[in-house]
Amino acid sequence: MANTAHLVRRQSSRDLNPQRSLDKLEMKEMRGRLVLENGNTPMNNSYGATNIAFDDSSPNTKAILKPSGVESKLGSSEGKPIFRPESGEEERESWDSKLTFLLATVGYAVGLGNVWRFPYLAQKNGGGAFLIPYFVMLAIEGIPIFYLELAIGQRLRKGAIGVWNQVSPYMAGIGISSAVVSFNVALYYNTIIAWCLFYFVQSFQSELPWAECPNKYFENGTYLPEPECVASTPTQYFWYRTTLLISEDIDNPQVFNWKIAFALVIAWILVYMCMIKGIASSGKVVYVTATFPYIVLIIFFFRGVTLRGMSDGLRHLFTPKWYTLTDPVVWLEAGTQIFFS
């Protein structure tokens, strides 16, 4: 009889507080994933909604809060759910597939910094010896920072500014600084893209305008060569006098370079069209932006090895100059290059 009474007392205590033990179990399993509203605690008579920023379920599925059976019996305040997501914002969009995300990551990592900037720094800072500080800086700062940003962004599902603010309000400046740096890089990267667009249009001529010097022809068939072009090369003359319209000195500026200005406007319009709908639009563009740099590198490689003096150029580029490893500027430029590649 004593044992029977003990079982009855235990059963009665569970009947009196059915939700208390269930709330404890729910809080233990979800580990703080519940967000409270109206100052209620998990001991109240309601279940909670999972914060969508930490939800591992389908990103396109929104949780709808419905009162449970216990809530129906015990009642709720005005029929409103006690728990709600942490913010009232709509759920962020996600990548269409893993391939799209992979291509986007590769596209952000490989660009003008690899095609245009890295070869210049390599031949400037010791040739093949430059690869040593580059890979050291890649292991020290490049890979750890990359995985840190990737992990935090995937976990919290926020942008560069919001993610650091959620980690700690004292770190909000990191996200703002990264956005400012990205904008400053975009300013001169788009200028380079404008030059590329200008050369792209000029390349459709039957005779490339930078193939030979512009000569002034006369009616008798003779011509007068351009002195500046003869003193330099046709490509340099086209670059300075046609593309940039550089004046002879700073006191005598030339006319407004409307061709490059128009190309720059087109470059910014392309950026706007790629980012207008977030990852919904950029997710389609990455199929081009992620593969195009590799295509350009392959074209440059085969074109470079077929040029005259190819062996001299490769020898100059890859012959290591070991004394440059003691120069701190070389290590500084290697560390800077990591953030562009």
Q: What does 182-251 look like in DSSP terms, one character per residue?
A: HHHHHHHHHHHHHHHHHHHHHTTSSS-TTSS---EE-TTS-EE--HHHHHS-HHHHIIIIIIS---SSTT
pLDDT at residue 54, as a whole number = 42
pLDDT at residue 1, as a whole number = 47
pLDDT at residue 92, as a whole number = 66
127 is annotated as contributing to ligand binding: no
Sign (positive or negative) of CA dihedral 230, 233, 238, 241:
negative
Q: What number is the average pLDDT over the span 294-319?
A: 87
Considering only CA atoms, which of 115, 121, 112 is closest in space to residue 329?
Answer: 121
Tell me: pLDDT of 257 over 80: yes
Structure tokens at 327: 């120069």
The whole-angstrom separation of Cα 337 and Cα 124 is 13
pLDDT at residue 99, as a whole number = 87
pLDDT at residue 90, as a whole number = 55
The whole-angstrom separation of Cα 134 and Cα 113 is 13
Contact 26, 42 (CB under 8 A): yes
- Predicted TM-score (pTM) of this structure: 0.66
Q: Which of 69-78, 130-139, 223-232, 296-305 has the lowest mean pLDDT?
A: 69-78
Q: What number is the average pLDDT over the span 27-33?
A: 46
pLDDT at residue 190, as a whole number = 94
pLDDT at residue 131, as a whole number = 92
pLDDT at residue 256, as a whole number = 87
Q: Give 314's contacts (C-beta < 8 A, 6+ positions apart).
A: 305
Percent of the chain topping pLDDT 90 = 24
Tell me: pLDDT of 141 over 70: yes
Q: From residue 167, give the alpha-carbon distance in Å to each of 8, 91, 156, 176.
A: 49, 19, 9, 14
Q: From residue 161, give the alpha-carbon distance in Å to each of 100, 113, 181, 189, 223.
A: 23, 24, 12, 22, 61
114 is annotated as contributing to ligand binding: yes
pLDDT at residue 5, as a whole number = 47
Confidence of residue 60 (pLDDT cuts 50, 70, 90): very low
More confident residue, 323 or 43: 323
Tell me: pLDDT of 73 over 60: no
For residue 29, how many other CB atoms are within 10 A of its CB?
8
341 is annotated as contributing to ligand binding: yes
Instruction: Pick from 44-53, 227-236, 327-336 the range whose average pLDDT is largest.
Output: 327-336
Tell me the per-residue pLDDT of 208-223, one tens digit each, with 9 for 90 and over: 999 888 887 778 778 8
Contact 49, 85 (CB under 8 A): yes
Confidence of residue 230 (pLDDT cuts 50, 70, 90): confident
Confidence of residue 200 (pLDDT cuts 50, 70, 90): very high
Q: How many helices (H) and strands (E) does the chain have?
A: 17, 2
Tell me the per-residue pLDDT of 166-187, one tens digit each, with 9 for 90 and over: 888 898 899 899 889 989 988 9
Considering only CA atoms, which of 238, 257, 249, 236 is closest in space to residue 191?
Answer: 257
Q: What is the mean pLDDT of the chain?
A: 76
Q: What number is the average pLDDT over the span 270-284?
A: 87
Confidence of residue 82 (pLDDT cuts 50, 70, 90): very low
For residue 58, how many other CB atoms are within 10 A of its CB?
8
Q: What number is the average pLDDT over the span 300-326?
A: 88
Confidence of residue 80 (pLDDT cuts 50, 70, 90): very low
107 is annotated as contributing to ligand binding: yes
Q: CA geometry: angle at 87 spanning 83 and 92, to 5°?
A: 120
Structure tokens at 155: 């976990």
Q: What number is the average pLDDT over the span 103-111?
A: 82
255 is annotated as contributing to ligand binding: no
